Amino acid sequence: MSLNAAWTELNEALKALRLRWEAVQPDWQDAVRDRFEKHHYEPLEAQAVAALRAMDRLSPILIRAQRDCSTHD
């Protein structure tokens, strides 16, 4: 899987997660939801966003490395 494909897949999964979380929030208002949000949803969302940002930073480096390696054949 290419980095671009992985980025797209993760980004789409994050969008779907956010939509589902927004859909469930109006009907789930209690301490359990608050704990779930704090201990599971928020860390997962933050990790996904961090991974997307890391992929954004890594992409030009990989492109440059591929280009450099292909010109030295």
Residue-level pLDDT at 55: 96
| Burial category of 7 from C-beta neighbours within 10 Å (exposed 0-12, middle 13-18, buried 19 and up) | middle
Tens-place pLDDT, residues 4-60? 999 999 999 999 999 999 999 999 999 999 999 999 999 999 999 999 999 999 999
Domain ranges of the chain: 3-71
Distance CA 9, CA 58 (A): 16
Residue-level pLDDT at 29: 96
Higher pLDDT: 43 or 1? It is: 43
Any idea what the Cα angle at residue 57 is, between residues 64 and 11, rounded to 5°? 120
Q: What is the pTM of this model?
A: 0.84
65 alpha carbon, distance to own chain's centre: 24
29: phi then psi, degrees, rounded to nearest 5: -125, 85
